[in-house]
Amino acid sequence: MKAIAGLAFVLAAAVANAQTPDTILVNGKIVTADPQSSMREALAVRDGRIVALGSSAQMRRLAGPQSRVIDLQGRTVIPGLIDSHLHAIRAAQTFATEVNWIGAASLVEALARVTEASRTMKPGAWLIVAGGWNVQQFKENRRPTQAELVAAAPNNPVYIQLGYGWAMLTPMAIKALNVTTAADGSVSGGQNTIIALFDKLPKPTFDQQVDGTKKFFRELNRLGITGVYDPGGNNLLPEDYQALFKVWRQGDMSVRVAYTLCGNVPGGEFEELKNLVALVPQGFGDDMLRFGGLGERITAAMNNNNRPTDAEKAKYYEIVKWAADRGMALTMHWGNDASVGQLLDIFERVNKETPIGNLRWSIAHLNDASEASLRRMKALGIGWTVQDAMYFGGEGYVQQAGAAAAKRVPPVNTGTKIGVPIGGGTDAHRVASYNPFTSLQWFLDGKTVAGTAIRGPEETPDRLDALRFYTLGSAWFSFDEKKRGSLEVGKLADLAVLSKDYMTVPVDEVHSIESVLTLVGGKVVYASGPFTKLER
Ligand SMILES: [Zn+2]
């Protein structure tokens, strides 16, 4: 009898041990973003997943001798942020070799970053700022002059790009590239001019790309990001994915990446895409790296084209019909509501022949989406990735469309009411900053970088809704909303412990929030301040 009781005790201990959490977070304010919007004090993680949530006392009772117990000292925890439209693969490739002006409050500060890079990089290295800034963020409210760039780094070729519309080169850069510029050293023109110019710049070596990828992902972790949906983009060819693939093979990914593929050869996109995905089924990969379909540019002819011809639409239809037949997801870049009917007509035609309702197709941007378009999207099961384009572009939009129209841009509350899946994000790093807290603040106050309030209360989400766009909402686009995006039992332990309480800090401080501890699959990928020693 005694022996049997002893055996039962041993068995119970073994079972308990198998369920003992490896990490427990206590004394926190955990914003779970579950369906009930529950707040919890503590959670427990085992093998990369959340195994329990509750009070600190309840979670402490689950701890075994091996469990790591982290005292959050009252800090706020949110689900790891997911940017549903971040050109992360491209940004990562050059992160170790580019200078960035993201968040610089003055031109003086921006130029100082160029000078600093000229000291830390190899002598004579190219100093490249490839976007991610705008004029209104500087208190001087203007672009740099060529003379200022020369003064900042007299012994380096310097290249500064503003969005996709303008670039400035110093004489050393002009000579090295052998290009023609305006008298002041600038190049302006359409997107294609700037893309072609950028292609002439020296590319980082493969090792620099790998290094840049790891550093960029760590930078995203610093800002609480644990996942991205990468929509390909300009200047991004198959060889440009190899650094990312190496980081994945090495097991060094600290951000989960779902990626889509673009057509790059004008007129030859169908052949190109067929070749690219012939042996890559939709969803192929693992929880760190997953193939997510086509986009955001599917054919050059339909890219930023408000009046596509019948022939251009026929070609596009052929590709997306083929994608539907193969069960592929896709995301499509579209700028404005006035012409989006051209795209929705095609999607509706495909849907009649091959239902696309479960394929998680999406439209990116469409900042001025009308209620009618959102209803058509809902009927097709199409999601909407929303970025903080108005943070940089708000004043321009008011000039073009008027203050009244700008009040409802983008209409995320209407989209939510209609039931369109919405993901948050930025479109970084050429045309925007990748900082999710800049974007979250903009969701909440509708203010541009210059401080102009543009959006009205009708289309302003509350804090939890904005957070949901950036977590569960974004997870939907890669079929991951049951795996991540909220902090619930069984989900991946992707989370961020914040430097300030996102739920209660004054709105104008949201942009300054950082993570002090970021977990991806229960693993510490970033830690600072009181948690520094938890990393590695
Ligand atoms: Zn786009």
Distance 429 CA to ligand 1 centre (A): 11
State yes or no: pLDDT of 477 exceeds 90. Answer: yes
Q: What single string gives the DSSP state of each residue in 100-169?
A: --TT--SHHHHHHHHHHHHHHSPTT--EEEESS--GGGSTT-SPPPHHHHHHH-TTS-EEEEETTTEEEE
CA 453 to chain centre: 24
The percent of residues in the chain predicted with pLDDT above 70, rounded, is 96
Distance 24 CA to ligand 1 centre (A): 40
CA gap 15, 138 in Å, rounded: 60
State yes or no: pLDDT of 1 exceeds 50. Answer: no
| Average pLDDT for 60-86 | 97
In the structure encoding, which two tokens stand for residue 148, read together?
């200022």
Distance 263 CA to ligand 1 centre (A): 13
Q: What single string gives the DSSP state of each residue in 360-379?
A: --EEEE-TT--HHHHHHHHH
End-to-end CA distance of the chain: 48
Read off the amino acid at residue 41: E
In the structure encoding, which two tokens stand for residue 520, read together?
């991806």
Distance 365 CA to ligand 1 centre (A): 7
Whole-number mean pLDDT of the chain? Answer: 94
Distance 300 CA to ligand 1 centre (A): 12
Distance 364 CA to ligand 1 centre (A): 6
Contact predicate 48/522, CB 8 Å: yes
Among all chains, which residue has been given the structure tokens 């097709």?
Answer: 380
pLDDT digits (tens, 9 = 90+) for 262-284: 988 999 999 999 999 999 999 99
Question: For the chain, what's the residue count?
Answer: 536
Q: What does the DSSP 8-state code read for residue 510? A: G
Distance 333 CA to ligand 1 centre (A): 4
Contact predicate 315/299, CB 8 Å: yes
pLDDT digits (tens, 9 = 90+) for 208-240: 999 999 999 999 999 999 999 999 987 788 999
CA angle 307, 311, 316 (to 5 degrees): 85
Q: What is the pLDDT of residue 19?
A: 77
CA gap 272, 285 in Å, rounded: 21
Residue 76 CB neighbour total at 10 angstroms: 21
pTM of the shown model: 0.92
Q: What is the pLDDT of residue 536?
A: 65
Distance 385 CA to ligand 1 centre (A): 10
Distance 261 CA to ligand 1 centre (A): 13
Q: Is omega for the bond preceding 429 within 30 degrees of 0, making it cis? A: yes
Among all chains, which residue has been given the structure tokens 């203007």?
Answer: 142
**Type and span of the H or E element at 439:** helix 436-445
pLDDT digits (tens, 9 = 90+) for 377-409: 999 999 999 999 999 899 999 999 999 999 999
**pLDDT band with cut points at 50, 70 and 90 for residue 163:** confident
Distance 510 CA to ligand 1 centre (A): 25
State yes or no: pLDDT of 494 exceeds 50. Answer: yes
Lowest model confidence (mean pLDDT) among 6-10, 410-414, 429-433? 6-10
Partner residues linked to 258 by β-bridges: 229, 290
pLDDT digits (tens, 9 = 90+) for 116-160: 999 999 899 999 998 889 898 999 999 999 999 999 999 999 999
**pLDDT band with cut points at 50, 70 and 90 for residue 8:** low
Helix (H, G, I), strand (E, B) or coil at 180: coil
Name the burial class of residue 270, with classes exposed (0-12), middle (13-18) and buried (19+) by CB atoms within 10 angstroms of its CB.
middle
CA gap 473, 436 in Å, rounded: 14
Q: Are strands 166-169 and 186-188 parallel, antiparallel or unpaired?
A: antiparallel
CA gap 241, 235 in Å, rounded: 12
Distance 328 CA to ligand 1 centre (A): 19
| Average pLDDT for 321-329 | 98
